[in-house]
Amino acid sequence: MPYAVVHLAVVPLRSEPSDKAEMTSQLLFGDTVEILEQKDNWARVRIRFDLYEGWINVRQTVSIDISQYEQYHAKSNFVLSDTVALAEANGLRITITKIPNVSVRRRAPGYIR
User: Cα dihedral sign for 48, 84, 42, 2?
Assistant: negative
pLDDT in tens, 51-69: 999 999 999 998 988 888 8
Summarize the confidence of residues 36-60 as an average pLDDT. Answer: 94
E-strand stretches of the chain = 3-6, 10-14, 23-28, 32-39, 42-47, 53-57, 61-64, 77-80, 83-90, 93-98
pLDDT at 35 over 90: yes
80-88 long-range contacts (CB < 8 A, ≥24 apart) are: 84/5
pLDDT at 80 over 90: no
Question: How many structural domains compose the chain?
Answer: 1
Question: In the prediction, which pLDDT does 89 show?
Answer: 54
CATH number at residue 14: 2.30.30.40
Q: Using 50, 70 and 90 to split pLDDT, how confident is the model at 109?
A: very low
56 within domain boundaries: yes
Instruction: Tell me the C-alpha distance between 41 and 65, whole Å.
Output: 19
45 within domain boundaries: yes
pLDDT at 72 over 50: yes
User: Cα dihedral sign for 38, 49, 106, 22?
Assistant: positive
Question: In the prediction, which pLDDT does 100 show?
Answer: 61
pLDDT in tens, 5-15: 998 889 999 99
Q: Is 44 left (phi over 0), alpha (psi -120 to 50) or beta?
A: beta
50 within domain boundaries: yes
Domain residue limits at 46:
3-64
Average model confidence (pLDDT) across the chain: 77
14 within domain boundaries: yes
Q: Is 72 helix (H, G, I), strand (E, B) or coil?
A: helix
